[in-house]
Amino acid sequence: MSAALVAGLLAGYGIAIPVGAVGAYLVAVTARTGWRTGAGAALGVATADGGYALLAVAGGSALVPLLTPVMTPLRWASALVLAVLAVRGACVALAAYRTGGLASRDDGAALTPARAYLTFLGITILNPMTVVYFVALILATGPSAPATPLDRTVFVLAALVASASWQLLLALGGTLLGRTLAGRRGRLVTALASSTLIVVLAARLVAPG
């Protein structure tokens, strides 16, 4: 069981730590809306990671051939959603700056913690590479892969906890960023910079190679 625990933690951190477009968007949303909304978003990402870990240990190798034909459309869909959200965030920030609304923590989108959870859950689910990552990791471990129901449960829970802890750390970083750049101009610069970064990272999701 201890081996499954360590493997799950390593797998969870391995998929969570590389900060991509979703991570950048998580930080940006938390900076604009506050800790509670950011925590909801972080848990949405972690739930998707945990779900994919569950699919992997429940026979994910059989899912890879089924996912392969739809990976490209799903990656394009994920990139498009992220790009739209980034552009919308930049437009809202510009409008709020002109009207003096950036002095508050809310960007006017009424993004509740529950809505943030569902939004980030959906964005992360659109990335089938997560399940491929977990399947490849399990297959690579060979005989030491989680085999018993208990080991599989421990692996999935450990991966979920690892992902959640990292995503919550990103949310905390967004909270601190939002508090540091509390002025109107600071919030505008942060919003525009984060939107640009999200678009670039989203484009990398569909870039060839």
At 29-53, the pLDDT tens digits run 888 888 999 999 999 999 998 988 8
pLDDT in tens, 10-33: 888 887 877 677 888 898 888 888
DSSP annotation of 58 reads T
The pLDDT of residue 181? 63
Residues with Cβ within 8 Å of residue 188, at least 6 apart in sequence: 93, 94, 97, 102
User: Is residue 107 pLDDT above 50, yes or no?
Assistant: no
The pLDDT of residue 64? 66
Structure tokens at 151: 């080991």
The pLDDT of residue 163? 92
pLDDT in tens, 116-127: 999 999 988 887
Q: CA–CA separation, 98 vs 129, rounded Å?
A: 40
Q: How many helices (H) and strands (E) does the chain have?
A: 8, 0
Binning pLDDT at 50, 70 and 90, where does residue 98 land? confident
Residue written as tokens 């999935």?
Answer: 156
Binning pLDDT at 50, 70 and 90, where does residue 157 land? very high
